[in-house]
Amino acid sequence: MEALQKNSERIQKINAFMNALNAADKHEKKAIVDAYRTTLDAVTPLDIFYVDMYKDTSTLSADTIKESANRFVNVFYKSLRNYEFKDHHHHFFQALLEENEAIIKHLKSMKPHFKNDKIVENRQVLLKGFEQCLAFEKKYVKKENIFFPRLESRVPSTRPLEVMWSLHDDARAQLKQIIAYLQEQQLQVKPVKELIGTYYYLVYGIIQKEVLILFPVAAKFLDDDELDAMYDESMQYGFTFLEKEPRQTKEDVKETFSDHHFTVRNGQLDFNQLNLMLNHLPVDITFVDKDDRVRYFNDSKNRHFPRNPSIIGRLVEHCHPPKSVETVKRIVEAFKKGEKDFAEFWITFKGSFLYISYYAIYDDKGNYEGILEVSQDVTRIRKLDGEQRLLNWDK
């Protein structure tokens, strides 16, 4: 595939530059940049996915990579801006660009309220403004559950996507802390002002990496049919500060299973009945096969964690934030070896108490076939007491 062909000589020079810059002290950096200027002026967005630091085999953690990511993007900026997305013919990319513009507009509107040490006087205005920033979650969840899955099987490395997901988590955490500071009775001006500055830098940096790297690379690999599907899936979450209309399609695509039945010792169901039953379970279920790829999830009405058709075939470790990946790998490995067959967690999530469990699945011969993940809101169940043996619909 032409889009996957790399300029090995340029990649080698970029690697040498990045290693030299990381090892240099501040007095040496300018000379190193000048020495590699010809190479730096030729960097393409796809090159970023080939460099050693961002390879899947890299031993560097996402946190380590993040420390230098902004610096390298700034150094590569002169070349990368030649690929910058400012508009696009496809409505999915265009909607993402408009979403970024709306986010930037909102952030700019708040600046006068925390400049010139006016945070105390403008506390309530700022609190409302940053609470509205919680809507940025629509943007992050679309990228993590629709955008990334489409790219993971195409790009040379998934590490840049993992790093961006980690940046999303940083933004979420910082926003939560800003809101907490603004809600404190004794407002601490200095720490909240510093955190606001860090948050702005982070959010603007995420947008810059999208328009300079992520979107241009995605445009190389994704055709209009795939982009249409991604736009359709985005309707589940919406766009931050924007109202977008669903696409007008010629007809709704419906999956049917006529004359097919699911028959086992316990009974028989046609595929429609089976699908309805799975979707009406009072739990969210996800099945990961023996090759660690997501193969199914039920379409629960009250799903706790986002799931989209785009994740089908995705490696399970890519379906979790970078900070959780090692735990996921540990569970999978233990299940495959037969050392464990069950793992459980319970967390408070958006006001609900969730019970999350993982079950190893083996066939009749003891061969490992995959994992079943089950999550359930047990908030009400935890409050039950005594017994109820009679139907109480009349109460």
Confidence of residue 165 (pLDDT cuts 50, 70, 90): very high
Confidence (pTM): 0.84
* pLDDT value at 265 more than 90: no
Which is nearest to 320 in space by CA: 362, 368, 278, 286? 286
* pLDDT value at 236 more than 50: yes
Q: In the structure encoding, which two tokens stand for residue 276, read together? A: 């309805």
CATH number of the structural domain 1-253: 1.20.120.520
* pLDDT value at 255 more than 70: no
pLDDT of residue 302: 81
Which is nearest to 44 in space by CA: 14, 21, 88? 14
Write the burial class of residue 14 (CB in 10 Å: 0-12 exposed, 13-18 middle, 19+ buried). Answer: buried
The size of the chain, in residues, is 395
pLDDT digits (tens, 9 = 90+) for 275-318: 999 999 999 999 999 999 999 999 988 888 888 999 999 999 99
Tell me the mean pLDDT in the region 96-102. 98
Mean pLDDT of the chain: 92
pLDDT of residue 250: 52
* pLDDT value at 252 more than 90: no
pLDDT digits (tens, 9 = 90+) for 3-41: 456 899 999 999 999 999 989 898 999 999 999 999 999
CB-CB contact of 342 with 321 (8 Å): no
pLDDT of residue 207: 97
Return the SS3 of 354. Answer: strand
Lowest mean pLDDT of 225-234, 245-254, 363-372, name the range: 245-254
Confidence of residue 346 (pLDDT cuts 50, 70, 90): very high
pLDDT of residue 223: 95
State how far the Cα of 38 lies from the Cα of 60, in Å rounded to an integer. 27
Top CATH class of 261-383 equals alpha beta
* pLDDT value at 274 more than 70: yes
pLDDT digits (tens, 9 = 90+) for 180-220: 999 998 888 999 999 999 999 999 999 999 999 999 999 99
pLDDT of residue 251: 53
Lowest mean pLDDT of 91-95, 254-258, 335-339, name the range: 254-258
Write the burial class of residue 1 (CB in 10 Å: 0-12 exposed, 13-18 middle, 19+ buried). Answer: exposed
Confidence of residue 249 (pLDDT cuts 50, 70, 90): low
pLDDT of residue 253: 46
Cα angle value 262/263/265 (rounded, 5°): 145
In terms of C-beta distances under 8 Å and separation of at least 24 residues, what long-range contacts does 24-28 make, across chains too?
none
pLDDT digits (tens, 9 = 90+) for 100-139: 999 999 999 999 999 877 899 999 999 999 999 999 999 9
Return the SS3 of 361. Answer: strand
Alpha helices in the chain (DSSP H): 8-23, 29-35, 37-40, 62-80, 91-114, 123-132, 137-142, 148-152, 159-183, 189-209, 215-221, 224-234, 271-279, 325-337, 379-383
The fraction of the chain above a pLDDT of 70, given in percent, is: 96
* pLDDT value at 1 more than 60: no
Q: Tell me the domain boundaries of the chain.
A: 1-253, 261-383
